[in-house]
Chain A
Amino acid sequence: MGLPPGGVASEGAAGQGAPGAPPPIAPRALQARATAKWVSTGQRLTPRAVWVKPFRIDRTEVTRSAYKRFLDATGYRPPHVEEDWAQEGYNWSGNDFPDGTGEHPVILVSWYDATEYCAWAGKRLPTESEWQLAALGEQSAERSYPWGKDYDAMALNHGKMDEPNFDDSDGYLTTSPVGSFPQGASPYGLLDAFGNAWEFTSDARVDSWELVESTEKSQGETQGWTDVHAPGPSLYVAVRGGSYFFDAAAHPAGEQNQFLPELRRKTSGFRCAD
């Protein structure tokens, strides 16, 4: 896979020292973005500037090799579902991922699975505001996509909005090895933030700011809603970024989606923060 100069700090497994771990992301103002109309339930928060404290986030989505280490170490349930579509190329066999896909993002994981992996790795899922800051930069950057203002079909592993949704014009029909689209890097160097796999956040998907917790709500030039978090349990959790089964070209904000936390989708992946 092509990597930017300096290489990519793939997420590190617990106890491995995470060589080349990315630097903390500095606190920045973040504009919460409007919700795309095609999402049918909830998520009708009006945009609001929020503040994000320094944090670190995996530069790449969690790979299947890394997830296998988690399974081998803990005996946790491997990615496997019974639906017909999963029988070819998606399901794991025990703790073994499909041949040759170790550097692809793990998919077929639920929000609970993702939460457990991050906890095992000594990390956590990012909040949605953390994810958005890492993926799109601060508000003043005015980016609709991690790489800039305009869509670039070769900057992400995308799909199509019409069935069968799969698309290989970017070189990949389904998932791609993490970091395969370096030209799609975010201002902070986040890779595959858009495309490849949807990414779980730790937030519930809510439709009112009254349901959102924040440590500081005073307004001003240098402070405001901070540590914004919509705690669960909830019917839906917030997922971001789209996937190989989705295309953000027409509606950039359409990458703000919601999944049932139980379901193991063929597009659901994640990265961790700490």
Chain B
Amino acid sequence: MWLLLTTLALAPAPVEIPAGTYTQGAQIQPDAPPRQVSLAAFRIDATEVSIADFEAWVASGAYSERAHWSSAGWDWAKQNPQGLGVVDRAAGRTPDHPVVGVSWFEAEAYCVAKGGRLPTEAEWERAACGGKAQDYPWGVGEKAAVWYDGGKFGHLSQVKTSPVSLAPDDQLSPEGLAHMAGNLWEWTADWYGPWEEGAVSDPAGPESGTWRVLRGGSYMNLPSYCRCQRREPRRPEQASFTAGFRCAY
């Protein structure tokens, strides 16, 4: 059965995640080992940011609106005044699909413009699996999520995302988030690095680094890359056809 979250696409209603404690990480290489994380309540988008929403922001003059950008982001925006451009961000898809080809700086600025921010790594993982010890948002076991199913030498001929609001209801997270496994990698706020040992509250990651953390896997990845605990380092200026984002508040 397919659930069309069309109202969410028109007016993205962030999902409320209550305060609580959960076990972050997994005893599976090369992910970081488990630790207890306590988080304050936060809200997070139920869907990835669509092409339509992102381009509406771009059309509003986003790349010359200083207030949206961090200082590092502003330096980047001055060098890349339209990012990769609307053609690469759409990549041949309709506007209801998630935007791709965005750097971490653009994702951060978009969320700030919307009154939010990127989720921390700990928030993202909590939202993805509902704070439960399971591999995927729906529990255990691989379903036909939006991930690589081309077989050993299968080939993709296009960017194979699903529209942001189109997801089977049995593949949603416990709180109803779509595409927390597969579809696109999602930028998080944190630098990539080893975790602090022991129990922590509202961790924000290393203070500096070279790579930001991507989460969730994409249509290009095997299911094992799409587990809630999987982390992937990516240079913040590195846009790709497999990474998008959603915002937290």
Please give the residue numbers on chain A whose beta carbons come within 8 Å of chain B beta carbons, in ascending order: 40-41, 74-78, 80-83, 91-94, 112, 116, 232-235, 260-263
Contact = CB atoms under 8 A, between A and B. Distances in A.
A47 B205 CA distance: 49
Interface residues of B, number: 33
Contact of A233 (B101, B155, B221): B101
B241 A233 contact: yes
Interface of B: 28-30, 84, 88, 101, 148, 155-159, 192-194, 210-211, 218, 220-222, 224-225, 231-235, 238-242
B241 A112 contact: no
Contact of A77 (B157, B220, B233): B233
Given A75-B194, A116-B235, A83 B224 contact: yes
A130 to B, nearest CB: 21
A261 B210 contact: no
B182 to A, nearest CB: 12
A76 B239 contact: no
A64 to B, nearest CB: 15
Contacts, number: 65
29 contacts: A40-B155, A41-B155, A41-B156, A41-B157, A75-B193, A76-B211, A77-B231, A78-B30, A81-B224, A82-B28, A82-B222, A82-B224, A83-B222, A93-B29, A94-B30, A112-B234, A116-B211, A116-B233, A233-B84, A233-B101, A235-B156, A235-B157, A260-B148, A261-B240, A262-B218, A262-B221, A263-B220, A263-B221, A263-B222
Which of B101, B233, B239 has most chain A Cβ within 10 Å?
B233
Given A76-B211, A82-B28, A83-B222, A235 B158 contact: yes
A74 B220 contact: no
B43 to A, nearest CB: 30
Contacts of B193: 75
B157 A94 contact: no
Q: What are the 10 tightest A-B residue pairs by CB atom distance, in nearest-first order?
A: A82-B224, A233-B240, A80-B30, A41-B155, A262-B220, A80-B29, A78-B30, A233-B241, A40-B155, A260-B220
A83 to B, nearest CB: 7
A234 B155 contact: no
Contact of B232 (A74, A77, A235): A77
B127 to A, nearest CB: 22
A92 B30 CA distance: 9
